[in-house]
Structure 1
């Protein structure tokens, strides 16, 4: 199997989509597949560690800075693809690079699959662009209509696409490395690094600091905590984005708030394990990788009853769910977990147990078989690769 993957975000980008696609390419190669990734230039961030990546000049995408708008030369990409001879083309994002892969696949009758990672339509209102939603969906329906499969990260995302009229929807869940994200850490050492006393009740948020993540509700929730309780709390925000300056200003009155910027690897895993509660107010997630990371780390989760977060969190079992944009409910849930340590421990244990069932290998094995089916390993894909089918 020879796979061409087109994406507007890839390693070393720091986001769930890039990390998932990087893992997937490594898995494919471990199974003997030959891959070629077409992605924007990595800039100063470094390299992906994967050799089979073609990079293209790109510009920032204002709606979603985790993606960059690549400006590929279709003739050059066409020559690369002709030489590579893909048996399957995967379109991970629907922008310039995805369009280039789409046109080549249609022209040369190469099977196309897509993966849907981001609810861009739900971002529009946060940037006062909601008037674009009908046009966006019209475009997305057109873009995906020739794809044999559309892989979605959660059942709720699949339901949304189904109601919009898309077909061929298949679940591609997300896994977690439970050896990397685990409950054990030196809490005192972690908190000392952030100049926090070990007796603090630590609330943690991990993700982009952007309007679509529901951070306004998080700020209001923290402000709504009773003063006597809030003085016992610390709030750590790990991530960066366009709201950082505003958030720093709004949270300035509270001395035990820390902004860490982007954190990854062992440092991130230790932050999760050191926290008492992971608070994630975003209602726009297609999955919410950070929720699964928190669960694997043995940290009780407070999230919102919407999107991919609600697919992962079973209220009262693996976490607590609140209505979207409900600061009072978030504050009440946090205080409840402080006052009920037994409940907090129960949620942490059940969350860890749930994470232990989410093996990347089993998830990727299912996706690999779906790829094989689409690529037509019985003969069609091989004939295309050999140039027999034109």
Structure 2
């Protein structure tokens, strides 16, 4: 793994009119030389950063060259894939674990020119993304984007709902030059279409490691170490502990179960700025593990019985898919992301967004009905097995080929290569 520092970058290699010189194609194919711009890569371990690291690793295994332009910190929590070029950034207000990219420095621009990209991929519509758009336009390099965060759904949690119209106007302008926009779920694509972001939508779902996240990881010893009896039903929540993940609804459900006398335990896996508040609100009814990863996370998932995730801000729902792979029935908001993953009344239950009473009724149903809970858990596991990372990332490489190697892309589509899940690869306009 290589980390480039802004202060020690070499000179630029330029083509005509200041554009990066293109590499000659080999065997009739143009090598992918992808410049990826993102606000999250190695300084935070979240769904966006982990997904992009998987993509970069896959592309490099397949012979592509990639440079990642992103904020970083002195001791990053993610052992990143590929070559990272740090960009200037500041701490996000109120969220010090996140950073806000401020654009490309002179040194980063030199590195970008020397790299000679033939495709720009923007993952965040921020100042860094705006800078990437400018250079893509100036050099005549194709621009694509991926939509990872449902920004408008966050506004209500921070008292900024009046800004929704202005935000969508900005996003429409930002994504207009993009040849492709990669969206995590059909439900998210429909929201974008409704808001006027329609050009070049492509489906880029997420995968799950069904060997790591598996019912086989269930451990009675792990439960006993946390004073959970073997026959207790455990209602689990796994996520960063931030307001927009539906924490208020989750807490109301746990309190409601206790008030109804429904026998169960609550397990909260994750950390974040709202942890102290949640611990104070649920002191006796919840076990808090803090942040877990790897085998410890997989064991925590599988050692639960019901997965309750009321978040209505998801574009896909990585934690929901991991819970499904672990054999848990899921109770989620009938909103973007989750509504695509959860087959209502088969693999879990969907409840109206923000409706604590509906979530309470659904949770009580699965806690008290053992056979139904187990049947849904088995069905959830089968559905999760359809989400194969290799096929999904191969599809993404195929999307790049639509622009860089269209003849190859057409041949692969005709042969059915790179198909993932049962959803359509292309998102036709409605």
State if a TM-score over 0.5 links the two structures: yes
Among 167, 175, 194, the residue aligned to 1:163 = 194
The residue that corresponds to 1:3 in the other structure is: 34
Counterpart contact for 2:215–2:325, Cα < 8 Å: yes
Aligned equivalents of 2:207 and 2:246: distance in 1? 24
Deviations 1:114-163 (Å, cap 9, x if unpaired)? Answer: 00011111111110111222221121111111100000000111111112
Q: Which residue of 2 aligns with 1:383?
A: none
Are 1:63 and 1:123, in contact at CA under 8 Å, matched by a contact in 2? no
Q: CA RMSD in A?
A: 1.9
Query: Are residue 154 (structure 1) and residue 204 (structure 2) matched?
Result: no
In the alignment, structure 2 segments of 5+ residues that lack a partner are 1-31, 409-430
For residue 102 of structure 1, give the secondary structure of its aligned residue in structure 2: helix
Q: Encode CA deviations 1:344-374: one digit per residue, 9 max, x unaligned.
A: 1111111111111111111111111110112
Q: Mark the CA change 1:309 to 1:209 in structure 2 (over 3 Å): closer, same or farther.
A: same
Q: Quick check: 332-341 or 41-50, which moved more? A: 41-50
2:152 corresponds in structure 1 to 121
**1:170-214 Cα distance to aligned partner (Å, 9 max, x none):** 110111111110111352221133333333211110112122111
1:196–1:256 Cα contact (<8 Å) kept:
no
1:277 pairs with one of 289, 299, 306: 306
SS in 2 for 1:357: coil
Aligned: 1:106 with 2:137: yes
Shift, 1:80, TM fit: 1.0
- Structure-2 separation of matches of 1:264 and 1:12: 16
Change in 2 beyond 3 A, CA 1:193/1:105:
farther
Displacement of 1:54 in angstroms is 1.1
Any gaps of 5 or more consecutive residues in structure 1?
Answer: 380-390
Across the two proteins, how many residue pairs are aligned to each other? 376
Matches within 5 A, 1:232-251: 232-251=263-282
User: Residue by residue, what CA displacement relative to the aligned partner does 1:27-77 show, whole Å, maximum 9, x if unpaired?
Assistant: 000110001001111343345342411123422223766641123444222
Whether 2:366 is the aligned partner of 1:366: answer no
- Deviation for aligned residue 1:168: 1.0
The alpha-carbon deviation at position 224 of structure 1 amounts to: 1.0
| Structure 2 residue aligned with 1:55 | 86
Distance 1:332 1:38 in 2: 46
User: Which string of whole-angstrom CA distances, capped at 9 and with x for unpartnered residues, describes residues 90-110 of structure 1?
Assistant: 000011221221111111010
Task: Measure the CA separation in 2 of the matches of 1:93 and 1:294.
Answer: 27
Distance 1:213 1:160, change over 3 A: same
1:13 aligns with 2:82: no
Aligned partner (choices 245, 249, 253) of residue 217 of structure 1: 249
**SS of equivalent to 1:178:** coil
Partner residue, 1:312: 341
Q: Which residue of 2 aligns with 1:77?
A: 108
Matches of 1:149 and 1:106, distance apart in 2: 15
Look up the SS of the partner of 2:144 in the other structure. Answer: strand
Higher relative contact order (CA 8 A, sep 6+): 1
Shift of the 172–73 alpha-carbon distance from structure 1 to 2, 3 Å rule, reads closer
Say whether the 8 Å CA contact 2:121–2:144 is kept in structure 1: yes
8 Å contact kept, 1:180–1:266: yes
Do the aligned partners of 2:45 and 2:78 also contact (CA within 8 Å) in 1?
no
SS at match of 1:184: helix
What residue is the counterpart of 2:329 in the other structure?
300
Q: 1:385 maps to which residue?
A: none
Gap change, CA 1:182 and 1:107, over 3 Å in 2 = same
**If the length of structure 2 is used for normalisation, what is the TM-score?**
0.83
